[in-house]
Amino acid sequence: MQKVLLYYCTMTIIPPYLSKGDTIGIVCPGGYMPKEKAETCMEVLVQWGFKVKAGTTLGNQFNYFSGTDEQRLEDFQQMLDDDSVKAILCGRGGYGVGRIIDRINFKKFKKNPKWIIGYSDITVLHSHIYSRFKIASLHSPMAAAFNDNEYNNEYIQSLHLMLTGNKLTYICEVETYNNTGTAEGVLVGGNLSLLAHLSGTPSDINTKGKILFIEDVGEYVYNIDRMLYQLKRSGKFDELEGLIIGGFTEMKDTVIPFGKDVYEIIYDAIKEYDYPVCFKFPVGHTRENYVLKVGAQYKLHVGKKVVSLKEI
């Protein structure tokens, strides 16, 4: 009996998938986003058959943020507790979720989970929700990614497919630094900067036996090196089943060059491990940003001719 209960407690809870007529709420729990930048997204969600409820933080501004901490907390909490809202799409990331995460009341959410959608700063929510409650969420493009007629691309369409219950398989190109092999495990991860900052907090992730994915944008390359070694020293890479390196874009160097590009830096930090490693997987702060289900079981195959990631 004890073994059965332990197994049950470690299983991920998958929120209900969406049907036509269900409502998706849009909020901005971090950085400011003009409402007009979300208009195309809202129109497309309606075309997909969903209803849309815009939160008070969309288009609201308080300095850098989409409102004061209290306003952002209240807006997110209202969407979280609203039984008519079946998923919450974050308009953008930026910064700010870490300021309110410990004040969000997840009591009702734990009983009636719903999809939390976004990436970048939303990594805080993904990590917290899986670590604390073992509930899955969607690391996904956000509202602005729908603009400029991009809503028909395969990356945005992967959100529609995932929300409606499809299990997806992604294929990407083979890269020089890859380490071949096959792994199965729960997928966790997100933005490297946020994962490093969450170390030692109640939102920190346990990576043992997991497939970890990381990505980042706009960092100095020495910062990437520092954050990788923070994760390495804290044991995050030691007992992984597999590792996925996503996009590391808009990297910057110092006046005195670091001497390596970002992928060399990552390779040097993790080359000692023998589990499968995939470089340049299409996830991150780029157009090529597939939806990944944080907390779900995946199979990663890193071959000599093909790389695939499949939800199982």
**Are residue 87 and residue 113 in the same domain, yes or no?**
yes
Measured distance CA(67)–CA(139) in Å, rounded: 23
Residue 2 falls inside a structural domain: no
The mean pLDDT of the chain is 96
pLDDT tens digit string along 96-144?
999 999 999 999 999 999 999 999 999 999 999 999 999 999 999 999 9
Q: Is 285 a catalytic residue?
A: yes
pLDDT tens digit string along 235-269?
999 999 999 999 999 999 999 999 999 999 999 99
**Are residue 61 and residue 138 in the same domain, yes or no?**
yes
Domain that holds residue 305: 169-311
Residue 3 falls inside a structural domain: no
Residue with tokens 């944008």: 217
DSSP per-residue codes, 151-190: GGSHHHHHHHHHHTT---EEEE---TT-B-EEEEEEEEEE
Contact 97, 30 (CB under 8 A): yes
Above pLDDT 70, what percent of the chain?
97
Residues 6+ apart with CB under 8 A from 237: 207, 212, 231, 243, 269, 270, 273
Residue where a domain stops, chosen among 139, 163, 187: 163
Q: Pairing between strand 51-54 and 23-27?
A: parallel
**Are residue 51 and residue 193 in the same domain, yes or no?**
no
Q: Is the pLDDT of residue 7 over 60?
A: no
Residue 188 falls inside a structural domain: yes
Q: Is the pLDDT of residue 5 over 90?
A: no
Q: Is 120 a catalytic residue?
A: yes
Q: Is the pLDDT of residue 2 over 70?
A: no
pLDDT band per the 50, 70, 90 thresholds, residue 10: low
**Are residue 243 and residue 273 in the same domain, yes or no?**
yes
> Total structural domains in the chain?
2
pLDDT tens digit string along 133-192?
999 999 999 999 999 999 999 999 999 999 999 999 999 999 999 999 999 999 999 999
**Are residue 94 and residue 178 in the same domain, yes or no?**
no
User: 3-state SS string over 285-296?
Assistant: CCCCCCCEEECC
Residue 297 falls inside a structural domain: yes
Q: Is the pLDDT of residue 4 over 80?
A: no
Catalytic residue among 137, 160, 203, 215: 215
Q: Is the pLDDT of residue 202 over 90?
A: yes
**Are residue 148 and residue 177 in the same domain, yes or no?**
no
DSSP 8-state assignment for residue 10: H
**Are residue 154 and residue 47 in the same domain, yes or no?**
yes
Q: Which residue has the higher pLDDT, 10 or 144?
A: 144
Query: Residue 4, class by beta-carbon neighbours within 10 Å (0-12 exposed, 13-18 middle, 19+ buried)?
Result: exposed
Residue where a domain stops, chosen among 108, 140, 163: 163
- The domain that holds 263 is classified in CATH as 3.50.30.60
**Are residue 144 and residue 193 in the same domain, yes or no?**
no
**Are residue 152 and residue 174 in the same domain, yes or no?**
no
Measured distance CA(75)–CA(216) in Å, rounded: 27
**Are residue 139 and residue 246 in the same domain, yes or no?**
no
Give the DSSP H/E element, type plus range, for residue 9.
Answer: helix 2-10
Is the full-model pTM beyond 0.75? yes
Residues 6+ apart with CB under 8 A from 283: 119, 139, 213, 215, 244, 246, 247, 289, 290, 292
Catalytic residue among 66, 120, 140, 193: 120
Q: Is the pLDDT of residue 19 over 80?
A: yes
- The domain that holds 56 is classified in CATH as 3.40.50.10740
